[in-house]
Amino acid sequence: MKTKPSPFLLLCIMGGLAIFSSTMAKNPALPLFIRSMGVPVSTVGFIAAASTVVGIIVSLPAGILSDIIGRRRVILMAAIVFATAPFLYLVITSPWQLVLVRVYHGLATAILGPVAMAAVADTFEKRRGERMGWYSSATMLGRFLAPFVGGILIFGEDFRWVYLADGFAGVLALVAAIRLPLTTRTSGPVWETLKRERGKYGQEIAFVFRHLGILATSVIEAVQYFAFGCLETFLPIYLNEKLGYPAWKIGLLFTAQILAATFTKPVMGRLSDRYGRIPMIVSGLALGGITTGIMLLSSNYLVILVLIAIFGLGLATVTASTSALVADLARAQSRGSALGILSSIMDIGHSSGPMVTGVLIGAYSYRMAFGIVGVGLVVVSLIFGFTMRWAIPRAETGTQG
């Protein structure tokens, strides 16, 4: 008798393939594809950001919808986009068409992020942080492999093979999603279900928006990704233009960061299950703040390598606990909504980090800007720790004896 893969394993496989596909579509292919159409450098960022804006808008409604009609049906919607969007790049002939395709492709990650996390949280009451960490590591593995594979498949200005590979990975993600044995809460038409349940879920959404712990934790994740956006955008420029490091050496630094986050996240999730979410979030955010603040004080490559790996550890520590804490604090029937809020607010922080840091660099310097961001993270971590310890009972923060 053949053994069927567990729902959790299928979720991890699907998530890893989906994020592998979507990341390969943009890194390093997207900016090169945009430039190949004659788009000026000043406009590249706006086209590339189209999918991020979708995440801010769509993540919350996707989470709410999954609470009402079930996780499986909403995950299938995202998987269909993952499987179809890559092939649309093959017929693009102008920049405005690329914007539309990026918006469509952005729907997939905006929907999948909070809903898949909610599905993991539904499945595991105990060891929830560890399991959510494993799922996140699966997606980060896909994110890590994508730029390498995508770069190999780009031949000059011929991007066909990279987007065909994207599509193939997206189709495999759809196959895994179809096999997911998750419960479907309703069997009738979606529209009729929404009309019937709108009163009940209106109350649940109101509960989420009024919950201090959920909102504060979402802001903390946004702050963490604010710093991440600062680092991933301006550290490469600083290292290349100010210190003269070649692109391959800079790429190795960020590989170290991703690897540190990927392999430590399940461990950090397990520690948050045992010792509580809040201490892990505070320590991880402070660690990220310290490393960001001192990142540019040395020009030694190995020192920077160690610091950016430690930043990855701090990122894993924070994000392994924030999603789990939001899942702990939310009621079961509104967990998707709560994680949707987390995802939307996180995208705001991630997208605003480069913009604010750019202004600070223009006004002061790279070192001063990174120092301000680093100090800000440490201060916010302390405020969060003091606020949450009296605002949220210990029993609600994921501590398991």
How far is residue 261's CA from residue 30's CA, in Å, rounded to a whole number?
24
Give the DSSP H/E element, type plus range, for residue 82: helix 71-88
pLDDT beyond 60 at 275: yes
* Higher pLDDT among residues 302 and 5, named by residue: 302
Residue 197 CB-density burial (10 A; 0-12 exposed, 13-18 middle, 19+ buried): middle
Q: Which pLDDT value is given to residue 80?
A: 97
Would you say residue 175 has pLDDT above 70? yes
Identify the pLDDT of residue 7: 85
Tokens of 203: 């109350």
Q: What is the pLDDT of residues 86-125, one digit of tens each?
A: 999 999 999 999 999 999 999 999 999 999 999 998 888 7
What is the rounded distance in angstroms from the CA atom of residue 348 to the CA atom of residue 59? 12
Pick the CATH number of 198-401 from 1.20.1250.20, 3.30.540.10, 1.10.4160.10, 3.50.50.100: 1.20.1250.20
Find, among 91, 109, 112, the residue nearest to 33 by Cα: 91
Higher model confidence: residue 331 or residue 197? 331
Is residue 285's pLDDT more than 60?
A: yes
Residues of the chain with CATH 1.20.1250.20: 1-187, 198-401
Average pLDDT, whole number, for the chain?
Answer: 86
11 confidence band (pLDDT: 50, 70, 90): very high
Coil, helix or strand at residue 328: helix
Residue among 393, 112, 84, 137 nearest 267 (CA): 137
Confidence at residue 373, expressed as pLDDT on a 0 to 100 scale = 96
- List alpha helices for 89-184, DSSP H: 95-123, 128-152, 160-178
* Residue 394: pLDDT band with limits 50, 70, 90: very low
Inter-helix orientation angle 335-363/212-237, to 10°: 40
Of the pLDDT bands very low, low, confident and very high (cuts 50, 70, 90), residue 247 is low
**What is the residue whose two structure tokens read 């909070």?**
114
Given CATH 1.20.1250.30, say whether it is the number of domain 1-187: no
User: Of 86-100, 315-329, 385-399, which gets the smallest average pLDDT?
Assistant: 385-399
- pLDDT (0 to 100) of residue 42: 56
pLDDT at 205 over 80: no
Residue 395 has pLDDT above 50, yes or no: no
Could you tell me what percent of the chain has a pLDDT over 90?
Answer: 50
Residues 347-362 have a mean pLDDT of 85
> Among 96-105, 137-146, 170-179, 182-191, which is the least confidently predicted range?
182-191
Q: What is the mean pLDDT of residues 316-344?
A: 91
Structure-block tokens of residue 30: 């997207």
Does residue 194 have a pLDDT over 70? no
Cis peptide bond N-terminal to 28, omega within 30 = yes
